[in-house]
Copies of this chain bind each other. A is one copy, B any other.
Amino acid sequence: MDRILLAHGSGGKLSHELIEKYFLPYFRNPFLELLNDQAVFDIHSRVAFTTDSYVVDPVFFPGGNIGDLAINGTVNDLAMGGAKPLYLSAGFILEEGFPIKELEDILSSMKDAADSAGVIVVTGDTKVVNKGKADKIFINTSGIGVIEKPINISAHNLKVGDKIIISGPIGEHGIAVMAKREGLEFEKEIRSDTAPLNSLVSDMLSASCDIHALRDPTRGGLATILKEFAISSNVGIVIYEDKIPVKDEVRGACEILGLDPLFVANEGRLAASASPDAAEAILKAMRRNKYGKDAEIIGEVVSEHKGVVILKTLIGGKRIIDMLMGEQLPRIC
């Protein structure tokens, strides 16, 4: 048997075989292997809880696949709340006929990503739909993390004077997925930046707890999350084009494709708003972490133009930055 059958989603014998033969070998741990319909553990803490479904097309792209993307994405959503990610769930929707070899490659990437991030998959679910009723594989991951420090990180919490920090160059994930999907080739291959950011956030919080907001600029890109910050906290934000790191190959691809890197998705970057007093120490800590080595302070929070993000351009102009309008790149994550 080398392809997924409808009966793999029956809840009966083949479902059990799928779990025992493919899922458990990758994810085995004392919680999951009980094969109850729920995992049980103790928590005594503030907790963060998050969910994301992944429908990326294509399933495999330079730098990653839907599996590590699904682990990293949920790890990052927890980390963006200042939480230490601990327990993940994984829900699979498989299209009848999906090659089991590809499923194994995805599970293997999920295992590696979970190990890298220090999380475990404790509970899961698999459904199978008829051929043509889903596109290959969709994965939902939900996650639970614990918040151990006295922090209040929220898009509502930006303060005037805060520095805006980005952890590295933007736009790589979106361009990598799009290039693969459309069969585009660039001189230098552009790879997804998909990565777990929990160690980076942990290093940042060790440098200072004066971090007011954190978010990973996925769909909608850096522009959209800065606009969300500005609206949620009712402040203005100014960013400087010359400070925003963009790799040459991404800039080149964006020019060819008519895209603005500010709106292109990232999967291994974060933007932070932090007290001016703490920003330099946080930046230093970030640069010592491999996922933050190219971090930059790119702007600040101001009391003027509340709810509005302004980009100071290279040539000295000003541009108002809005959320992504319409759809730039569907099924990017």
Contacts and interface: CB of A to CB of B under 8 A. Distances in A.
A170 to B, nearest CB: 14
Given A5-B327, A12-B323, A142-B89, A51 B123 contact: yes
Nearest to A155: B36
A51 B90 contact: yes
Interface residues of A, number: 86
Interface string A120-154: 00111101111011110010101011010000001
Contact of A12 (B13, B128, B224): B224
Contacts of A118: none
Nearest to A136: B133
A284 B83 CA distance: 45
Contacts of A39: 48-50
A153 to B, nearest CB: 8
A229 to B, nearest CB: 11
Contacts of A325: 7, 12-14
Interface in A1-34: 5-7, 9-16, 34
A27 B179 CA distance: 38
Interface in A51-80: 51-55, 57, 77-78, 80
Contacts of A90: 51
Interface stretch (A188-196, A200-208, A214-222, A245-253): A214-222
Contact of A43 (B6, B45, B155, B323): B45
Contacts of A135: 129, 133-134
A46 B322 CA distance: 44
A87 interface: yes
A289 B11 CA distance: 28
Nearest to A322: B13
Contact of A53 (B38, B77, B78, B140): B140
A41 interface: yes
A156 interface: yes
A91 B51 contact: yes
Contacts of A134: 55, 133-135, 138
Contact of A330 (B6, B34, B42): B6
A58 to B, nearest CB: 12
Interface string A165-195: 0000000000000000000000000000000
Given A89-B51, A133-B135, A34 B220 contact: no
